[in-house]
Chain A
Amino acid sequence: MYWELELILFIFLLITAYIALEAEDLLISAVMLTVFSFITALLFTTMGAVDVGFTEAVVGAGVTGILLVVAIYQTTYKTED
C-alpha cells in the first residue's frame, strides 16, 4: 500500500548499513546503527506491527546507542581493519 515510502526507507536502510560497515571512526558506526534501528522501527510500523516497531525504536535506538557509546569510550575509537 505504502510502497513508495517503503522503497525510500529500504534505500536509507542500505545506505546506513553500508556507512556503519565502512566508517573509520567507530562512533560514526554506533550512530549509524542507531539510525538503522530507527529506520527498521519505521518499517515495522509501516508493515502494521506497531508493538514490534515500538520495541525496536525504544531498545534499538535508545539503550543500544547508549551502551555502544559507553563501550567505545571504554576501549578505542579506531577500527583495526
Chain B
Amino acid sequence: MIIAFTLVLLFAASDLPFRGDPDNQMNQEVSMTGTEVAGNYYIQEAYHDAHTPNIVTVILGDYRSVDTLGEQIVIFTAGLITFLLLRNRKEGEEDDE
C-alpha cells in the first residue's frame, strides 16, 4: 500500500517543471487566460508606493493587509481558546478534589 502510494507520488512528481525555470508558467508575465498577472504591479511599483525595499513586507502589510489582519485575529482567538479551555479544566479538577 505504502509502496504503491510512493510510486504514484513519484510518477506525479516526475512531470513537475524544474524549480526556478524562467519558461515556467508560474514565472510568466501573462497568465494562461491571456490577462496580466498581479505580480507585475507588485514587483514594479512596491518601492515607489511604500519606499520599502522588502517586497514581501509591502505585500503582506499593505496590499494584502486584510489577510494579515485575519491571521492576527486567528492567533488571538487561539490564545483566548486555550485560556478558556485550560483555565476551566484546572478549576473543575480542583472542585472534584
Contact = CB atoms under 8 A, between A and B. Distances in A.
Determine whether A and B are in direct contact in the complex, meaning some CB atoms lie less than 8 angstroms apart: yes
Interface of A: 1, 47-48, 51
B contact residues, range: under 10
Contacts of A51: 56
4 contacts: A1-B20, A47-B19, A48-B20, A51-B56
Prevailing SS type, chain B contact patch: loop
Contacts, number: 4
Nearest to B19: A47
Nearest to B56: A51
A1 B20 CA distance: 10
Nearest to A49: B56
Nearest to A6: B19
A46 B20 CA distance: 12
